[in-house]
Structures are given as structure tokens and as C-alpha cells.
Structure 1
Amino acid sequence: MVDHLFTVSGSSAMPVSPTGLAAEGLLERQHLQEWVIDNPQVLGEAVLVITAEFDRWADTDGVPARDRLDVLGLDATGRLVVVELKRGTADRDVHLQAITYAALVSRFDIDTLAQAHRDFLARRGQTLDLEASRQRLLDHVDGDWSPELLQRPRQVIIAADFPKQVTHTVVWLSEMNLDIDLIQVGLWRVEGHLVAGFTKVYPTPEVEEFTLAPARVEAKAAAQKLEERSRAQNAVHVLVGAGLLPDGTRLRLVPRHGVTDSIRDAIAVWVGEDANRSTATWTNDTAKPLTWDADGNRYTPTGLANHIFRSVTDRKADGIQGTTWWGIDTARLPDNVDPEEWATLEGTDLATLAKRLRGTGKDWTRMHALLETIPPGRWTTYGDVATVIGSHAVPVGTHLANCGQCPAPWRVLTAAGRVAAGFRRVGATHSGAPREILTDEGVRFDRDTAATEARLTLDELRQLLES
């Protein structure tokens, strides 16, 4: 949780006092619940809200109708997300409520969920027939619909605070391979406005990686399938979030994870019958980023890998990590990209790229601040800028070419000291080609290459950013 919050004006920082939902007259159902429904990202990546205030338990379990599940979601791995909300400090047995609801929804099938989603949308003034509701759920899942994963819901408890009885129990349950997230909601009044914050207090990334992940590796087949899908889905989100691959990037099929040598050989023969089966085109869409050249349809990396596996073997794939199957074909150079940096990506699969880029994003504030400090008559490279701000040369080049508001983008060149192919736009306040502007600023060129003595070193760039 945020320990200290300030309003800042230059060198002055004034503390902001926290408040609470109850103190502000805000309620769980009418307010906190609506915040979550409107902003499902607080529940995790790519969560679709299926329903809220659900109480149709079919009476088979003797659950009174007054017991309502606050929010039920579906993530892109095909797993249900059970959400319990408390506007104040959570009750000592709140985790038991969440577990009870998780047990109940674990018996749901696609038809039950589709009907619940249709009814939920109808209550909110949206019309969707049952079949369209069903298809919406299927489309949201990365890969095949898995009844096994529905039996393992993830639970999320959101509250202003948690008593030790809850945190201690949740830690133990997580170690026993039951997934429960604790999210703390805070409220502040800032200059007449209420500001809400949601912070995941358990499990932290370190706990997930070093404590929970080893236990899940040893779990049953359903948990293993979840891990594979989660990694694939996360890889796509990382790549789109970092903006590494420009739309139109060509990918080549290299079956890796989840197949034997004999199946690889069979896929190679099958691909040999139609070369279009071996290529796909990337679009920066977290839902279905691949367009397969063989049929023109959109797929997830895992969905397309599974489709190819089934087409060749005539049996269902199980646990393929599709992001390992697709490598970058750098023969086609996108506009405004450094050729040397682009060439380094040749053959690298999507999963490996995501590992390199994890933690990066498309917040260009630091880069804009850096560019403002580069003096006339000096230049740097896409790769050096990326190193200093924690990104990659390719999205840096793409952003510079299309931003229109970046300070002096002409002072950023390729690693060879040349203006990137296709780079023409230099900003709304300047005209002329980048080389012409650099020459006017005093940078000497030998044919198309800028003089190395005018290039800033990495240390100089870092000092500029720090200043």
C-alpha cells in the first residue's frame, strides 16, 4: 500500500491524508463493485467480467439466494476469477467466503457462464443473445476451452485492509497450490477529488516466482496447462506493451515446445506442401496478434500452434507454448528501424523476446526528457537511447518516427550513424531532412555517415538524463 502520498508543485511536496470508503459515504455494491467492473485490469491481465451479484446457485447446494458472488471474471488462460469485495477491513473469515464461491463456480460449464453473462449484460442495458455471449467467452480464451481449468478458479479479495488471520491463512493456502490474491484499496482526497488506488499485497512477484511457482510445477496436469497458457499470454502482453514488433512483422514457423522430433518432421513435410503454412504476420493486438498466411485468419500464437498440430497429427495438442513456435523473419525491414538492431532479432522466438523485454513499456516520458537535453551538434543512436531508458532500439525508432512531439528526433541515428531508412518526419516545429538539420547544427557527414566525434557516449547520455 502507498505509505505516503504528496501533491507536488516544483520543489514543494504537500502530504495528502488518506480517507476511506465508509468515511466518504461510498458503498461496496454501488461504488467499489462498479469501479472493478469498469476497470477489470485491477484483477489481473486480460480479465473479462462475466457477471456480478450472481446468486443463481440452482438450489442444489442449499445456498440461500441472499449469498451473492460479488464479481465473476474469466482470464485469457480460460480460468475463472472469483472476486470478493469489502469496503473496510476484511472479515476474519473472508477467505472462506471466497473459497465457497470458488467451489460453487468450479462446477459451471460454458453454457452456465454464457447465460450468466447474457443476463448480466441485459441488466446493464446491453443486448447479446445466448450464442453470441457464448462465443464472446470462447474468443476471450487464448487457445482451446478447457473444462479442467474451470475447476481451478483464482480468487481475488479486495479490501481496505486485511487482519493477520486472513493473511496467514492465505499464505498457507497459496503454498498448498490454491491461488488467492489480496488487493488493498486505498482512498485519498486530493484537491477536492477522490483518488482510489489498488495495490496487490499478496502474492508479490518475488513470492510467485520463488515460493509458489515451484509448487505449481509439481501440480497436476490442469495446473501445468495453466502455466503454459499463462506464459504464452503474458509473452504477448509483454511484446505489445513494449511495442517491439511493428505491425506487419513477418514470423516464421519453427515448432519447438511440446512436440517430438518425429512430429517436427511431419510438420516440415506438411509445410512443404504449401509455403504459406510456415509464415504469419504480427499485429499489436493482445487478443489475436497473428494472421496466418495460409488462411488469412487471426490466431493467438498458441491457438495457431495447436491448429497446426491438430492438422498434422489429427489429435488434440496438450500444453504447447505457442510463443516458442514463432520466430522473427528480419528479411523484411520495417520503416524507421535501425537495420543492425533489426538483424539481431533474426529467428528469435516470441517467448525469448518477451523474457528480454519483461518490465519495459511504452512510457516515453524519460526519452522525451533525455532528448530535450541533447545539445545541437551532437547525436546518439536508437540503441543507446533504449539502453539508457530501459527499452529496445526498435520501439524507440518507431516512436521517434511517428511521435510528432519528440524533441529533436533528428539527433537519433542508427548504430552506423545514418538516418534510418524511411525516416523523414522531424517534428511540427522544424522542416527539412534530418541530415540537413544536423549539418546546420555542425555535425560533419562523410557521405551518409555522421562523424563519430559528435556521437554522445552512454555515460554522457546518462549524465544528461540525470541532470
Structure 2
Amino acid sequence: MDHLFTVEGATAAPVAPTALAAEGLLERQHLQEWVIAHPQVLGESVLVITAEFDRWADTDGVPARDRLDILGLDATGRLVVVELKRGTADRDVHLQAITYAALVSRFDLDTLAQAHRDFLKGRGETVELDACRQRLLDHGDGEWSPELLQRPRQVIIAADFPKQVTHTVVWLSEMNLDIDLIQVGLWKVNGQLVAGFTKVYPTPEVEEFTLAPARIEAKAAAQKLEERTRARNAVHILVDAGLLPDGTRLRLVPRHGVPEAIRESIYVWVGEDTTRGTAVWSNNTGSPLTWSADGKQHSPTGLANHIFTSVTGRKADGIQGTTWWDIDTDHIPDTVDPDEWAALAGVNLAGLAKQLRGTGKDWTSLHTLLAAVPAGRWTTYGDVATVIGSHAVPVGTHLAACGQCPNAWRVLNAAGRVSAGFRWTDPTRTDSPADVLAAEGVPFDAGAATQEARLTLGELRRMLGG
């Protein structure tokens, strides 16, 4: 961030930068704690495994005084090595990061689980080793690839970078080694310190047009990494999109990772206790499923692994649990339209995530679009979702809960009827949206708004400026 201003109407006053050292802020006690508390500065969905790690094997020849600042795990199952400098980075900082990446590339799941437990214990949180192991597995949705562990991503955070560092990092990236450079800035605004983190390399354009083609031609492990990086964890996608309301019922349908014979055994096992075959969704990226059989929260893959082991007595290997859970469309949440909900029949969590990739919960465009819908016209949840890049179900859920959506009564289901999930923001209102629409000039036939008054997709796009 090159320039920061305080703004008061048409007047913008520049804010002079300061530095961590000038403000008495330290690398370990302050900068490191900021990153641990807000790992999103390291990239999408990063879990901090440990910090200040120095338990290197003697055979590696690394003195114990050499400490890895932060070690994380992203949702693709790839380690993230973080090197921190509160001032300008040393000219050889990238060599430090590469050394640590080489060392952690030999770690296995048990080593990482032990490091995570020790890290949590040092911060006053007691967690069993098995629970730490499962937390790491759940973060990658159960996918655990030794090939990916051997290719850590490196992140260097500093106040500035010498040209020697940036030039070397660019070359290393072209050689298929992933190193991110993030600049930390500090300003004092009205007596309050403000910190900013800016990714200075690689920029999105560099990643897309320069680095990606080189990695596509790299060895199989790099290809696998690119595919999994593009395909974000299904649970994170669903939570970000807000498609499934809390309380959504799910049905167990074992698929990925098990042959037909074991599937049949699982169905027999579920038949002995039908609660084993259902779960309830909550919008929690860590453990979104509450299993009806034990009332405990699980990740989709963690629960699938547990079920597999309960039935077979063997350890599961490579199950993609998000394919095991289908939407139970027989149970309709109060906030959704039944017709739109029925369209999800037979769809599993992984399939939904593929449909929703790139969808988020920023409803600014929805509010803008609804404000432009004129009296005497109506639209549908599905058409609105298409125009704003969402899905009919989260659109309906948002309209039912939002107190700021304009003209919400002008959104009907595909049949032109008021959704059963519609709610007035004013709970004292007793009139029907159909009555309001009729008063605005929308014709109705047998209780349904006529298609002649329905806005086309083209009209909706023009209203949004598209």
C-alpha cells in the first residue's frame, strides 16, 4: 500500500507511514501474533500448525537456535512456511525460507500433529494427539498427500524487500518453487496504529499468465497441487456461498473410496440404527455435520472415515467424505422455497460445491438489483441468482432474513407464486405479497403472477449494468 489517506468529504489528507521498530513493536511478540491470529494474510484457509518450531533432528545439522517462525497448512493439504522480518528483509531471507521448507518437507502427519499439540499446549489449550491429527485431516477435507507435503509453499513477510530478494524469488517461481512476498506496512492514524499486509509477489496476473503454464508442465505432484488449489475445499465453498441453512438435513449415501460390497455393509449397519444415516448441517467450516447417532460435530470426511472403520474394522484411506452426504429434500427449511429446494434432490455436498465455485455471500449486487425492479414487474429467485452469480436457495434464505432488501415481495418462485419461505421484515404485517403486487399492477391468474409481467434475464442484467 503506497498511499494512505484520512478522508473527510472532498478532503483527503495523507497519513505518514511509521515502522514497527519505531513504535517499539517486535517481530516475535507482535508481528508473529498478528499473523497467528489472522492467518488469512497467508492465503486462503490456512490453519496455523505451530510457531517458533526448533525441534529439528540432530542429523540435519541445524542448530536448535534456528526457529521456524510459523508453519501452516492450507485447505489443499500443502504446508506453508512463513518467515517474518519486522524491517527490511535480509538479502538472503529467501535462503532461510528454502532451508526451512526443505526441512519440513520430510515431516509426516504424526510429526505435524505432535507439533500442533505442543503449540496449542504452549498457548494454554490442551488437545489430545488424535484430535490434533484429525484437525489436520479435516482441514484438508481428509485428503492427505505425501507428494504435496514435499512441496511446501513459502511466505516471506517484511516491511520491504531488497532487489536481490525480489529478483531471486521471481526466478525461483519460474523454476516452479512457490514463494510469496508480503509487505507489512504501519501507519498512525489519529493516535491509532494501523497495519496493512500487501502481497507484492506474485500478483494474480503473474500467477495466471507466467507461473501457471510452467507448473502445468511440471511433474505429477505439481499437477496434482494445481488441480487441488483450484478446487477449494467443498465445505469452505458451501459456507462461503451460504447455500445450506443451518439445520439442513443430510442423508448418508456412501460413494467415493469404497467398493460396492462395503457400501452394502454400510447400508445394513445403518439399517440397525437409522440415526446413523442422517446428519444436520451447520455453517462451520471445521466440523459442519452433527451426526444424529452421537450428537457430536464432525467434518464430512472425518465422519465418513469413522463410519467406514466402524463397519469394516479397518482404517479408511483416501475417502472424499463430501461425496457421501446428500441433501435430504424431504425436510424443507423454513426459509427456502420448496420448489427450489426440491431441485437439490440427489445432489451431494461435493456436487454442490462444484456448482457454486466462485460464489460468495456479498449481497451488494443483490440489493442493487432488487432496488431497480420496478412496480408492476416481478422476477424469480433463480433468475436473480443467475444474474448475480449465486444460487436460488441462498438468495431465498437471504431475502427471508435480511432487513435491508428492497422490493423483496417482487421476487417469486418459478411458478409465479409467493414462496412458503417468504417473511416480511416487519413481523406485524399481515398482508400478502400477492396483494401488494396486484395493487402495483401485476396481473394474477389462478393465484400465480402472469409470465407477461416477469422480467427477462436480459432486463435484469441491464438493471445491474451488465
Whether TM exceeds 0.5 here: the answer is yes
2:268 corresponds to 1:265: no
Q: How far does residue 59 in structure 1 lie from its aligned partner after superposition?
A: 6.3
Q: How far does residue 286 in structure 1 lie from its aligned partner after superposition?
A: 0.5
Take 2:163 and 2:257, find their aligned partners in 1: how far apart are those partners?
A: 42
3-state SS, counterpart of residue 327 of structure 1: strand
| Structure 1 residues 266-294: Cα deviation after superposition (integer angstroms, max 9, x where no partner) | 31243134243444332211011223344
Whether contact under 8 Å (1:228, 1:319) holds in the other structure is no
User: What is the aligned-residue identity percentage?
Assistant: 64
2:113 corresponds to 1:110: yes
3-state SS, counterpart of residue 369 of structure 1: helix
- Letter paired with 1:453: E
2:299 corresponds to 1:292: no
Partner of 1:124: none
Partner of 2:125: 128
Take 2:172 and 2:311, find their aligned partners in 1: how far apart are those partners?
A: 42
Unaligned segments of structure 1, at least 5 residues: 122-126
Partner of 1:374: 373
Q: How far does residue 188 in structure 1 lie from its aligned partner after superposition?
A: 6.0
Partner of 2:316: 317
3-state SS, counterpart of residue 82 of structure 2: strand
Query: More deviation in 78-87 or 373-382?
Result: 78-87
Whether contact under 8 Å (1:4, 1:15) holds in the other structure is no
Take 1:328 and 1:318, find their aligned partners in 2: how far apart are those partners?
A: 24
User: What TM-score do the two structures reach when normalised by structure 1?
Assistant: 0.80
Partner of 1:68: 67
Whether contact under 8 Å (1:439, 1:445) holds in the other structure is yes
Take 2:345 and 2:13, find their aligned partners in 1: how far apart are those partners?
A: 50
Q: CA RMSD in A?
A: 3.8
3-state SS, counterpart of residue 342 of structure 1: helix
Tell me: CA distance 1:95–1:341, structure 2 relative to 1, closer, same or farther (3 Å). same
3-state SS, counterpart of residue 201 of structure 2: strand
Aligned pairs for 1:159-238 (under 5 A) are: 159-163=158-162, 165-167=164-166, 169-170=168-169, 173=172, 178-186=177-185, 194=194, 196-199=196-199, 201-202=201-202, 204=204, 206=208, 210-212=213-215, 215=218, 218-219=220-221, 234-238=233-237
2:270 corresponds to 1:274: yes
- Letter paired with 1:322: G
3-state SS, counterpart of residue 219 of structure 1: helix
3-state SS, counterpart of residue 327 of structure 2: strand
Q: How far does residue 390 in structure 1 lie from its aligned partner after superposition?
A: 1.6
Q: How far does residue 412 in structure 1 lie from its aligned partner after superposition?
A: 1.1
Partner of 2:155: 156
Q: How far does residue 140 in structure 1 lie from its aligned partner after superposition?
A: 4.9
Tell me: CA distance 1:173–1:349, structure 2 relative to 1, closer, same or farther (3 Å). farther
| Structure 1 residues 209-236: Cα deviation after superposition (integer angstroms, max 9, x where no partner) | 65436636x129xx96x78987886211
Query: More deviation in 374-383 or 131-140?
Result: 131-140
Partner of 1:353: 352
Take 1:295 and 1:285, find their aligned partners in 2: how far apart are those partners?
A: 18
Q: How far does residue 138 in structure 1 lie from its aligned partner after superposition?
A: 3.8
- Letter paired with 2:403: G
Partner of 2:383: 384
Take 1:254 and 1:242, find their aligned partners in 2: how far apart are those partners?
A: 23
3-state SS, counterpart of residue 236 of structure 1: helix
- Letter paired with 2:199: T
Whether contact under 8 Å (2:256, 2:324) holds in the other structure is yes
Whether contact under 8 Å (1:305, 1:325) holds in the other structure is yes
Q: How far does residue 14 in structure 1 lie from its aligned partner after superposition?
A: 5.3
| Structure 1 residues 19-67: Cα deviation after superposition (integer angstroms, max 9, x where no partner) | 4636964554454333212211112334333444444557665545553
Partner of 1:94: 93
3-state SS, counterpart of residue 340 of structure 1: helix
Tell me: CA distance 1:384–1:109, structure 2 relative to 1, closer, same or farther (3 Å). closer
3-state SS, counterpart of residue 316 of structure 1: coil
User: What TM-score do the two structures reach when normalised by structure 2?
Assistant: 0.80
Query: More deviation in 47-56 or 96-105?
Result: 47-56
Tell me: CA distance 1:162–1:90, structure 2 relative to 1, closer, same or farther (3 Å). same
Take 1:9 and 1:391, find their aligned partners in 2: how far apart are those partners?
A: 36
Query: More deviation in 79-88 or 412-421?
Result: 79-88
Q: How far does residue 297 in structure 1 lie from its aligned partner after superposition?
A: 3.5
Partner of 2:81: 82
Whether contact under 8 Å (2:251, 2:325) holds in the other structure is yes
Tell me: CA distance 1:445–1:208, structure 2 relative to 1, closer, same or farther (3 Å). farther
Q: How far does residue 239 in structure 1 lie from its aligned partner after superposition?
A: 0.7
Whether contact under 8 Å (2:134, 2:302) holds in the other structure is no
Whether contact under 8 Å (1:279, 1:293) holds in the other structure is yes
Take 1:198 and 1:113, find their aligned partners in 2: how far apart are those partners?
A: 27
How many residues matched? 451
Whether contact under 8 Å (1:252, 1:329) holds in the other structure is yes
Partner of 2:46: 47
Tell me: CA distance 1:265–1:61, structure 2 relative to 1, closer, same or farther (3 Å). closer
2:137 corresponds to 1:141: yes
Q: How far does residue 334 in structure 1 lie from its aligned partner after superposition?
A: 2.3
Partner of 1:408: 407
Tell me: CA distance 1:199–1:188, structure 2 relative to 1, closer, same or farther (3 Å). farther
Whether contact under 8 Å (1:71, 1:84) holds in the other structure is yes
